[in-house]
Amino acid sequence: MTQALCFRDLKIISGLLLSLWGNIVFAADGGISLGQTRVIFNETDRARTVQIKNSGDKTYLIQSLVQLGQDNQQAAPFIVTPPLFRLEPNSRNSLRIMRQNEGQLSQQHESVFYLSVLAIPAKTSEFTEQAQLSMGIRFSIKLFYRPAGLTMPPEEAYCKLQFTQVANGVRVDNPTPYFLTLGQLNINKNAVSLKQHPAMIAPHGNQIYPVTSPLAMADWRMITDYGILSPKCEYSPP
């Protein structure tokens, strides 16, 4: 039985919550939270860590891995330690992410993977197996692998988007080597729903957003490495 069938997905959206300590967190029913919204793994990093906290009154079994996609559970070239552990009430632990299989990732642009964390209530005599499975919580946050040879700083990429009128809307091109994730997008002063349309644009890729009026202007903000919104970028046709 696959994890996707066993556990209730908890879709992480781009809204950001600040904890009392100023750290960005994802909070879920049951008191489980992650200490960040994304992981930036530089080629020069030996490892990266993600904090996981249980502020509730239940013990959870935590299972973690890095996979190729949200719906692709094939293992990625990263390992997480510990992969399986108990998280007691009002406690925290660290997930340590390390790269394996050196040399298999692109050196020309970023690669994206997903850190998947399953939090399963510890077994008690009152719960059947099926009841426990239905109560599981799944977190999924992006892990960006960043090669050392990229010459453009990531902050410089935020305002590099290119806009083109096409038959079915406006095509937005990303000419940079970074995955760019829109936090806000307005075209002709109308907000584009980033829940209904893809927010992330792959390196040297594009997305088309439905717009019925001629392209007159656009403005946007990116989600930064720190999970917050960038300064506003603007575009006007020449």
Domain boundaries, the chain: 3-146, 154-235
Domain range 3-146, its CATH number among 3.40.47.10, 2.60.40.10, 3.20.20.10, 3.40.50.1360: 2.60.40.10
Cα 179 to Cα 201: distance, rounded to the nearest angstrom: 6
Determine the pLDDT at residue 30.
66
- What per-residue confidence (pLDDT) applies to 21? 30
Examine domains 3-146 and 154-235 and report if their fold is the same: yes
Q: Which of 95-109, 125-139, 170-184 has the lowest mean pLDDT?
A: 125-139
Residues 154-235: name the CATH superfamily. Answer: Immunoglobulins (2.60.40.10)
SS3 62: strand
Q: Which of 22-31, 126-135, 140-149 is most confident?
A: 140-149
Q: Does pLDDT of 81 surpass 70? A: yes
110 pLDDT band (50/70/90 cuts)?
very high
Cβ distance 121 to 70 under 8 Å? no
Q: Mean pLDDT throughout 220-233? A: 98
DSSP result, 146-183: E-TT--S-HHHHTT--EEEEETTEEEEE--SSS-EEEE
